[in-house]
Amino acid sequence: MAGSVSNSFALMKSSWNVLKLDKELMVFPVMSGIACTLVMASFVAPLALSGGWTVFEQGGGDYFAMSVMFAFYVVQYTVIFFFNAALVGAALIRLDGGDPTVSDGLAIASKRMGSILGYAVMSATVGMVLNMISERGGIFAKVASMFAGMAWTLATYLAVPVLVTKDIGPIDAVKESAAIFKRTWGEQVAGNFGLTWAMLFSFLGWTVVSVALMVASGALGPVGVIPALLVAISGYVFLALLGSALGGIYTAALYRYAMTGDTGVFDAQIVGNAFRRK
């Protein structure tokens, strides 16, 4: 475990070094978060105002509920993949020695909009199917859907970088992503923790700080607690955005390593062992 934690912080440091050179990469997670919030509101508000939300609460209208959920997944995934593609595209420019701008990233993602939408539909379909198997099956179905979900995650891990760099459709992008894994890390692999440990400890550290801040400000009553609460929430939001940006940079680095063998500012051994054999 100690090795995984140290590797995670090493990856975080390398990703952070890239982010320091292009702080504008943080704009993409911010835009993605705002867009996702608007998408959520655009689905929830009409249901709440029209009374359609009771269909979900009462468990009725399966086809209606499934249709709404599928549409929501497609739109939400499209937004997430679009800005992730913009982030990865800009990160690849930096890793190749360029100096990307926000416009560069958005332009890259815009050129692949059709494939991104197709990939969102694929992901939404897979997600809905696995969810149905898990909810309507027994324990074996739940286990099978869990492993199928893990396999899909690994197979599509580099799908966005593939879409960014190659003018191909979503099906070919998934095939190419899986082929890259097989060629670089082998067939039977499982993901290491990557940035997970570093971000987990960051969130835990901020939780300690937030609790201490709330306790210290509690003596002042609501006047002190409310600002402390806002600071705590702002910190969590920042860490979430930071994790998204660092994750996009790390994904770009893994793809670049798989395609060229060059790890850039990242430790070669850590990147090479990003995925371990089962």
Residue 87, C-beta contacts closer than 8 angstroms, at least 6 positions apart: 25, 28, 29, 105, 244, 245, 248, 249
Work out the average pLDDT over 22-51.
87
pLDDT band at 272 (very low <50, low <70, confident <90, very high): confident
* Cα 260 off chain centre by: 24
Residue 193: its pLDDT value, please? Answer: 60
pLDDT band at 84 (very low <50, low <70, confident <90, very high): very high
Contact 21, 94 (CB under 8 A): yes
Picking from 75-79, 173-177, 187-191, 234-238, which range would have the lowest pLDDT averaged per residue? 187-191
d(CA 92, CA 97): 9
Picking from 31-45, 158-172, 208-222, 228-242, which range would have the lowest pLDDT averaged per residue? 208-222
Work out the average pLDDT over 78-98.
95
Residue 246: its pLDDT value, please? Answer: 93
Contact 198, 12 (CB under 8 A): yes
In this predicted structure, the answer to whether residue 277 has a pLDDT above a threshold of 60 is no
Q: What is the pTM of this model?
A: 0.88
pLDDT band at 190 (very low <50, low <70, confident <90, very high): low
Name the DSSP class of 166.
Answer: S
Name the DSSP class of 275.
Answer: E
In this predicted structure, the answer to whether residue 278 has a pLDDT above a threshold of 70 is no
Q: What is the pLDDT of residues 133-182, one digit of tens each?
A: 887 777 888 888 888 888 898 889 999 999 999 999 999 999 999 999 88
Contact 145, 134 (CB under 8 A): yes
Q: What is the pLDDT of residues 45-69, one digit of tens each?
A: 776 666 555 655 555 456 777 788 8
